[in-house]
Every structure is written in C-alpha cells, then in structure tokens.
Structure 1
C-alpha cells in the first residue's frame, strides 16, 4: 500500500467509492480509462475493473460538481437550508431538543438530526424570531 493515494480519510473511514465517472475507452479486457475532472488530475485515469463498480443510478440524483466548492483536501462545507422537523427526546434526567436539518446539495432523504442548541449557536438565521414566525405561513379557514 506504499505510495497509494487516498481520497480524504485513511483506514475504516476511507470512502469505498468516490462518485460515478464515465469510461472514455477500454484499454484491455480488465482495464478502463475514466474521464476524471481537473481536481483529480494527480490521479492516473486507468483503473482495473476490480476497482470499479457499475453505476446504474438515476441521472437526476447526480449533483453537478461545479455547484460544490471542493477544497484541496477533497472535502466541501455543507450549509443548512431549512429546518424540516423538531423533536424532544426524554432521557433519564434531562430532555434533548433536536431538529431535522435539510442541507444544501442534499435531498430530503439526506436530512440529519442535529442538536437544536448547537444549530441555534452556529446558524441563528434558520430560527425565526417570535414576531416574524407567522409571516410565511398560509392559514385556511374551515367552514365546518
């Protein structure tokens, strides 16, 4: 494994697959050349078939890499867009408030539960104040 280039983390947390890339040409029965972006120019584009996995995903689910600002460490910063849900978990001695956060460049399935207190400290713009809370809500009157 000496001299092997890793993508980000080492060991257990190393990603198994990076993302789907198109095959530009077939070199041999077991070797393929991939169309890699400029960010991966340091990586040799020819791979053995054992290092590839067939991707038959929905093309609408692929996020364009141009919209994501990738750092030199091949990582990017996620920015929260919206609070989807709230819940309070009761432990033995205390209650922990959590919020379900929708992140930029993620779908609703990729939303995560985060501690409400931490999110209020880091992203206060996601939480509306009391007098502005009803501005974006539409109410319907019942005739019954």
Structure 2
C-alpha cells in the first residue's frame, strides 16, 4: 500500500504521510488478525460516533403510538414546494389533515380508516425516471410587470391535471 501511495502521489507523498500512516494503522491485517492500532493499544480506533449510539439516542426521543378502534387521529402531511394539494401554498399549507377515525387495526403500526377519506389519485403518466411533463391547456389571465426600463408581459397558464387555483404565471 505504501508503494502504491508513493507512486501515485509522485513527489508530494511526504505531505500525505500522516494520512497514509493513519490508513495503514487502521486496516485489518490477516497476519495478526486485527489492525496494527488494535494490536498496539488493545482497542479499536473510533473515528466517529457509532451507529448504535446514534440509534439509541434517537430511540429515546421517539414515541411509539398505538391507537384503538374508534379513536380519531390527524395525519401528518409534508407538502412539496409548489404543489397546491390542500388549498393553501407555502407557509400556510397544512401540516396535519383530519381528523380521521380508526376503523380497524391491520398490523402493528397499520390502521384502516374510512375509505371515503382517501384522496383521489390523479391520472398522471410518470416516466421511468419518476418525472412527468406538465401540459398547458389554456390561458386564464394576462398582466404586465413594470420594471425600471421595460415592461414584461405575463400570462397565467392553466395546466392539465391541475385546478384553476393552481394556474401559474409565465
């Protein structure tokens, strides 16, 4: 490994000797069955917080909620930027929707609600890369924006699979 580093770095290998030493000392060696750092100091080198400690910390602050049949719950939604799904856009878009009544316990954390509360699925053709093309279907408004030295014409376009409130200026 040292030879490969010296050949790769050519004349500047002495600037990286500390990193090369660190890498060498923390690599597992078959001959001794451990990393040289572990053989010298009797413990493993920890470069960052272990994933187990991170998981334990997160789990301390997580609440496992279980609901009974007949209880009412709110559903948390995460609106995407620019999507007007629940009638408001931006900061005023709702964080929770509901309340919904629990009708049946299906699994450990799965519940069935009233089927009439299911949001309608829009028929949108999605490409393999999970993108789709917005198609304009009409112009619903026109205005001019006045800048210092010029006037910019703007048209409000109504898009396919969108409501009239979701029309945008272009």
When normalised by structure 2's length, the TM-score is 0.34
The structure with the largest helix share of the pair is: 2
Q: Max radius of gyration: which structure?
A: 2
**Larger relative CO (CA 8 A, sep 6+): 1 or 2?**
1
